[in-house]
Each structure stands twice: as C-alpha cells, then as structure tokens.
Amino acid sequence: MKISDIAFKFPNAAGDIEPKFILQVGTSETYEDLIRHAKLWLEGKAEVSVVMIAKLVETPSFQYPTNDEQLELLGLLEASQIRGRYFTLERENGPVSYKGVRWAGNISEAFVEVWKRQPGSGLATQIGNRIVS
C-alpha cells in the first residue's frame, strides 16, 4: 500500500471519492524513488490522472530526531508538542535548527516534475520540462 504526501480526491461518475492528483515530496527519498512512486500511482491506480513530484536537495543532509525517546535524550519536547515557532532558520534556504539541534540542512536545489499516464500504453511519463528553483 502506498500513501501519498498529498492527494486531491474527487467524486467519480458513481459518486465514489477517488484520488485524481497526487503530490509526492522527497527530501530523504532519491529522485529514482520519487519516479518509482509516480509510476506506482499512475500505472497501478487507473483513477489517478496526475502525479507531481517535488525533490528538495539538502546539503549537507541531516537526520533529525525521529521519536520521543531521541527527543528526550536531547532534552527536547515530545514530537506532538513541537511547533514551528521553536525553529530557527539561519538563512533563507536553511539550515534549520531547533533548540540548538540541526534538523535540516541548506536546501541547495529544488525542482518539480509533472507525470501523467500515456494514452494507449498506460505507462507513466514526464510531461513538459522540469521546473527548477
């Protein structure tokens, strides 16, 4: 089972709610993983029409604490208590820190691609050019 980062769902002809547009965002995922996910959605779920992949390249890559035990060892709040106001952005594109602990590096590259299913073959293919920021 694959869960999207964001899915826009609409009613079909029978009135059932189905995902039509999927957004997959990758920071730790590789570009190849994002393409694989786009293909899974488009080639595996006929109701999905469009998949947008967004890749954020973090330089250097950092691993933030992932559970309450790791947060406690660092003397930080539980994950459910953390709010955006506790984070500090050092420059426009990062890095980001929380109470002195680095959670994200500098975003050195970001791009978006749109993928659709080819009529006839049903295979996923990139539509248009990559949008780079």
Write down the domain spans for the chain.
1-57+107-133, 62-104
Residue 29 has a pLDDT of: 85
**Measured CA distances, 102 to 71, 88, 89 (Å):** 12, 9, 10
Cis amide bond preceding 60, omega within 30: yes
The residue whose two tokens read 């996910």 is 37
Using alpha carbons, select from 7, 22, 8, 20 the residue that is nearest to residue 53.
Answer: 22
pTM comes to: 0.71
SS (HEC) of 53-70: EEEEEEECCCCCCCCHHH
CA 54 to the chain's CA centroid = 6
- In one-letter notation, the amino acid at residue 57 is V
pLDDT tens-digit readout, 105-125: 778 889 999 999 999 999 999
